[in-house]
Structure 1
């Protein structure tokens, strides 16, 4: 019975650690940059866009299509950073 209780306590402790790790990961913000760092996208852990900053120089020198491509690149980089962090947290996924 003592061995079973010890196993149960270890399982509970492991579950708490996992829950804390997930909570920490989900609260993180992830940033991706493009156009030499002049475009910066920030997402949450799920990849939801939270902030987008575009330097005036990027707006001035890039045409609309290239600006859209660079914005998309920054967002994708932020999303990939979030995915990489999730994969670190849950490698067996």
Structure 2
């Protein structure tokens, strides 16, 4: 019966580890990541997969930048948010 008890203990440990991993992934996937540009006046937010879920552009940025500079700043903010999401993903899913 010792073999059976030992096998059950190993199974319980595996199941507990799987539950912890599942909880960590669920917590990570609910997170949001932010990237900023133009001294924080442009802010992009992505989900854990790097999908853009929000973009805030301060009126000052819109007024003082031409279309090309504004597009570059928006792109930079999005890339920073995506990089933050990727960095967090690497710690949860090595």
Is the TM-score greater than 0.5? yes
SS of residue paired to 2:50: coil
Greater C-alpha Rg: 2
Count of residue pairs the alignment pairs up: 91
How is 1:12-91 mapped onto 2 (pairs within 5 angstroms)? 12-91=15-94
CA RMSD of aligned residues (A): 0.6
TM-score w.r.t. length of structure 2: 0.94
Deviations 1:19-65 (A, max 9, x none): 00000000001000000000000010011111100001100111111
Q: Can you give the 5+ residue segments of structure 1 that lack an aligned partner in the other structure? A: none
TM-score w.r.t. length of structure 1: 0.95
Deviation of the 1:3 alpha carbon: 1.0
Q: Can you give the 5+ residue segments of structure 2 that lack an aligned partner in the other structure? A: none
